[in-house]
């Protein structure tokens, strides 16, 4: 075991896989010589050479398009889109190509590809460095979508994603790169070294895609969260004094409905939290699934706490961000309903 930040854990996962499997290649904007704007690929080019880890032109469609070609050839590319907000030029390649190759060719051509993207706000990134586009991927048949919330999960899930035979969207909450963040932006940053889940196994280890984690056992209400919101939910429950059961979904597709349904049947209440905008967000899917599976156990309507349906603002970042106060209010209201 070793103490790592999320950045180090992500880098370690790629390092382990590049050492084990020559088919793994890593590329993207500023990814090669410099090691990425968030430093996630630092040192990989020096270690594995510039045909295994290299800089790409500023063309997301080109990065994803060439990576798809490489994956169909038999490589396992693990590519970086510098910010999830820059993904849109590649969306056609992701939706119409990567996601459908296996299906439309009846398995002749497959696409073992990981697309890493920093996601979410909380860094004063404005509308073009803060978005959470996960619902744009979960809506697409043929993709898997992963959102880790800590170094341990990040390494285990990224290795599983690289080993997966299908395309995986790997969304890295950038506000968590250097420490857990519970939404109290006015308090000093907690480093990962103080957190249990910064203890990461050495070498190869993977976590299954499709298995959620219960980060806090509770009896009163189930909170469904992922990424940064896992910590916001914990702070909210503690501050509101509510015995919430908090589930970190870890992967959105495939979704661990068993863990979700068992928890909601136990608590009878459910609050869904995400940073992305409300309408047609992944929370809508979760709310629908929970009422389908647990309707007769529900004591209160399923509540959603999310970003507002506006572009992500700059100056008003903390008015937009669904912080512990808003989540806490929803918990109280759900308990009183």
Partner 1 sequence: MTDYGPLTLHVPEPAVRPGGTPDFSNVRIPKAGAVPRPEIDVDPETIRDLAFSIIRVLNRAGEAVGPWAGLLSDEELVEGMRNMMTLRTFDARMLIAQRQGKTSFYMQHLGEEAISCAFRKALLPGDMNFPTYRQAGLLIAGGYSMVDMMCQVYSNSRDPLKGRQLPVMYSSKEHGFFTISGNLATQYVQAVGWAMASAIRNDTKIAAAWIGDGSTAESDFHAALVFASTYKAPVILNIVNNQWAISTFQGIARGGAGTFAARGLGFGIPSLRVDGNDYLAVYAVAKWAAERARRNLGPTLVEYVTYRVGAHSTSDDPSAYRPKTESDAWPLGDPIIRLKNHLILRGAWSEERHKQAEAEILDTVIAAQKEAESYGTLHAGAKPSAREMFDGVYAEMPPHLRRQRQQAGV
The residues carrying an active-site annotation are 129
Distance CA 121, CA 253 (A): 22
65 versus 307: smaller Cβ distance to partner 1? 65
6 versus 44: smaller Cβ distance to partner 1? 44
14 versus 235: smaller Cβ distance to partner 1? 14
Cβ at position 322, least distance to partner 1 in Å: 26
Cβ at position 305, least distance to partner 1 in Å: 24
Q: For residues 264 and 298, is the Cβ–Cβ distance under 8 A?
A: yes
141 versus 315: smaller Cβ distance to partner 1? 141
The residues binding partner 1 (CB under 8 A) are: 25, 51-52, 56-57, 59, 61-62, 65-70, 72-75, 89, 92-93, 96-97, 101-110, 141-142, 144, 164-166, 210, 253-255, 257
Cβ at position 67, least distance to partner 1 in Å: 6
Cβ at position 66, least distance to partner 1 in Å: 3
210 versus 227: smaller Cβ distance to partner 1? 210
Cβ at position 51, least distance to partner 1 in Å: 5
């Amino acid at each position: 075991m070793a103490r790592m930040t999320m950045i180090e854990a992500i880098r370690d996962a790629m390092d382990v896989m590049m050492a084990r499997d020559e088919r793994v290649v890593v590329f993207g904007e500023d990814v090669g010589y410099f090691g990425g704007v968030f430093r996630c690929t630092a040192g990989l080019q020096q270690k594995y050479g510039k045909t295994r880890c290299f800089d790409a032109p500023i063309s997301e469609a080109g990065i994803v398009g060439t990576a798809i070609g490489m994956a169909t050839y038999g490589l396992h590319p693990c590519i970086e889109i510098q910010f999830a907000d820059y993904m849109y030029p590649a969306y056609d390649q992701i939706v119409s190509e990567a996601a459908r190759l296996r299906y439309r060719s009846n398995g002749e051509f497959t696409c073992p590809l990981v697309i890493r993207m920093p996601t979410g706000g909380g860094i004063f990134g404005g509308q073009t460095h803060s978005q959470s586009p996960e619902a744009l991927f979960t809506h697409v048949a043929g993709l898997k979508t992963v959102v880790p919330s800590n170094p341990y999960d990040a390494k285990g899930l990224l290795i599983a994603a690289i080993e997966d035979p299908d395309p995986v969207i790997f969304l890295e909450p950038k506000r968590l790169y250097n420490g857990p963040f519970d939404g109290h932006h006015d308090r000093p940053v907690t480093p990962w070294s103080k957190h249990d889940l910064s203890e990461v196994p050495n070498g190869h280890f993977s976590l299954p895609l499709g298995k959620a984690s219960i980060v806090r056992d509770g009896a009163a209400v189930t909170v469904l969260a992922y990424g940064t919101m896992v910590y916001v939910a914990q702070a909210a429950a503690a501050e509101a004094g509510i015995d919430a059961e908090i589930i970190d979904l870890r992967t959105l597709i495939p979704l661990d409905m068993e863990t979700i349904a068992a928890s909601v049947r136990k608590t009878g209440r459910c609050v869904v939290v995400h940073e992305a905008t409300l309408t047609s967000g992944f929370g809508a899917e979760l709310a629908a699934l929970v009422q389908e599976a647990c309707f007769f156990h529900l004591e209160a309507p399923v509540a959603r706490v999310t970003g507002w349906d506006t572009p992500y603002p700059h100056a008003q970042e903390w008015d937009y961000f669904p912080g512990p106060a808003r989540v806490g209010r929803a918990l109280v209201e759900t308990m009183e309903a």
